[in-house]
Each structure stands twice: as structure tokens, then as C-alpha cells.
Copies of this chain bind each other. A is one copy, B any other.
Amino acid sequence: MLPGDIENFIGVAQVPIGLAGPLHVLGEHAQGDFYVPLATSEGTLVASYNRGMRLLTECGGVKATVVEDHMQRAPVFIFSDAGEAREFGRWVEENPDAIRRESESTTRSGKLLDIGQYQVDPLRYLRFNYSTGDAAGQNMTGKATAAACEWIRSVYPKDLTYHLSGWIDTDNKHSHLNMLLTRGKRVVAEAVIRKELLLEIMGVDTRDLFRFRQVQIAGAFLAASANNGAHAANGLAALFIATGQDVANISESHAAISYGQLRENGDYYWAITLPSLIVATYGGGTGLPTQRQCLEMLDCYGAGKVNKLAEICAAAVLAGEISLGCAVLHGDWVSAHEQPGRNRP
């Protein structure tokens, strides 16, 4: 920790880390058994993820796949009427190369992938989507987009008014836009839960668990929840603190869409998509001492590791989903929280 990294430094918060695992991951980048560091003060969290990981590992492991990847900054351009806004949008469509050149001039690792456009009234929102290497990329994309916007303003034939964010990025908050269009990594974890193993380890029948899924999904839809699964935020927050991620991004990262099918033989295919998982293996808090150690324990520190970390995150989330779902169904959810001996006001 060097002076200057945080303003008005007064000390450090110490959060206990427990290890869960091994978790067998069958990713494109993460392959093998992982012990996952979870920094938390919640009793039973590590134990709960641990038993989910045991189940998944015994079932053969978790497939994990990053299916989309981009970070964004979304300026808004304000016009005197809707027609001018539309005209501007066409101009942007016709000048992709120049805009890319300007934005990429500010960064070594960021690449401008495309620019989404969304119009509301006389407002034209652009959503600059970048690949950002091993960084989360919020600052990189801000700087690159600012350069692009300034250049646009300098060459566009009419006067332009814009702000670098028009609140659709959406940064540090959950949004349905991000669930649909991805912010950070869109990563899927999948496993086939074997009927006998679920009964043995969790005391739960796959058919009952699948019946319960129908109820959970109805509840999530009724509640307009950001996650029709269980509690992705729990494991992710603990992983984020341990590995130096920006914990505020739990707001975006905890969104999830689950999907399952019960097979004829009673095995249960279960998948979960994290559509806006924001992680980094470089920059930000990843270089702080204990955080770096945790990343290194996962072999996820530094260049070329970010998709590996994303895969591990998703696999760990799936373990937590199954563990909590079974605890609720089996009725040992409350008693499990009693044993660690805390939380007794």
C-alpha cells in the first residue's frame, strides 16, 4: 500500500478469509481444482459454498464459459429536436473508423468494439463497448470515450452538447440494460447434478429440487428480481473483497439468470448466467498485498488471467445456488446458521 493510493489514509479494514473447495472447473481458461478464498463476516457462508463445491466436483465439475465481454461508457448527446438527434446518430454510424482511432489513441489495451445507439426524445445515447484486457476498464473506457467525444465535437458540422455519461452505462448500479446487453463479462456456469449424489450429499431429490425451481422462478418474476436464482451476491462479494475487485460492482455483478432441465434419468442440468460480472486481474485493488496473494493462489494475478477468474467466479456462484436451494428445501437452512454461534441478537 503506497501513500497516495487512497486519500486521507487511516489504516486498513481486516476481513477474515476462509477457503472453500476444491471446486473442479472445466473452463476454457480455468481447468482443474481450485480453492476459492472468500472474505466475509457472515457465518456459514464458507461452509455453504464448500458443500456446493463438493457436490459439483463429485458430479464431474462445472463447465464455465465467457460468452461476451465488453465494458462501456455511455455519453449522451443533447439536441434541439429528435430529427437532429437521429441525424447525428447516422453520422456516428458512418464514421466508425475515425471514432475508433480517436478513442483507442488513449489506451494500450482497450479496443473499441462497437457503439450502440439509443434515442429518447431529443437525446441520443451512445454506448461505447470496449474490450479492456485484464482490467475492469471503467476508467480506461471513460478516458477513451472522452477523447472520442471531443473529437466528434471538433469535426461534427453542427454545435454539439454532450455529457460523458447519460446514466445508461449503467455504472455502479444494477440495470436491466446491463442484464440484456452485458457489462463486463457475460459468463455461464453449467453442471449436471447427479441424482444419487444430490441425495447423498444434500439429502434432496432432484425431482423435488426441480419442482421447487418452478416456484422460485415464479417468485423472482413476481418480485422483479435481478436474479431468478438464489444469492449470487453472497459468494461474489466475498470473492471480490478477497481478490481486490471493486466491491461496488456487486451491484452490477450480482444479476443472474438461471435455467434448468430435469433429465429422464433424474439428473438435473443446471446453468446460471452472470450477465454483467465485472472483474480484473490487473489494476485497481488487485495489486494490494493480501488481494494479490489471493489472486495468485488461484493463479489469476496479472496479464491474460481475467477470463480464468471470471470462470471461477461463475462456477463458485453455481455452487452457492445449489447449496442454498437444497438448504431451503431440506429445512436445514435456519439450523445451519445456528451452529457457527454468531448472529444472536
Contact = CB atoms under 8 A, between A and B. Distances in A.
Given A173-B254, A177-B225, A250-B237, A121 B17 contact: no
Contacts of A338: 143
Interface stretch (A78-86, A95-103, A194-202): A78-86
A341 interface: yes
A16 interface: yes
A214 B9 contact: no
Interface in A1-20: 1, 4-20
A184 interface: no
A67 B82 contact: yes
Q: Is the interface of A mostly helix, strand, loop or mixed?
A: mixed
Interface in A34-82: 37, 39-47, 50, 63, 65, 67-68, 74, 76, 78, 81-82
Interface residues of A, number: 151
A172 B345 contact: no
A222 B283 contact: no
A158 interface: no
A331 interface: yes
Given A163-B329, A225-B170, A283-B343, A186 B260 contact: no
B125 A222 contact: yes
B222 A334 contact: no
A63 B41 contact: no
A33 to B, nearest CB: 15
A38 to B, nearest CB: 8
Contacts of A340: 4-5, 7
Contacts of A285: 15, 40-42
Contacts of A8: 18-20, 46, 50
14 contacts: A5-B16, A6-B16, A41-B246, A41-B284, A65-B81, A121-B258, A125-B219, A166-B219, A174-B251, A180-B180, A231-B248, A237-B246, A240-B247, A283-B342
Given A119-B186, A163-B329, A217-B221, 6 more contacts: A5-B341, A8-B50, A132-B345, A140-B343, A143-B334, A174-B254
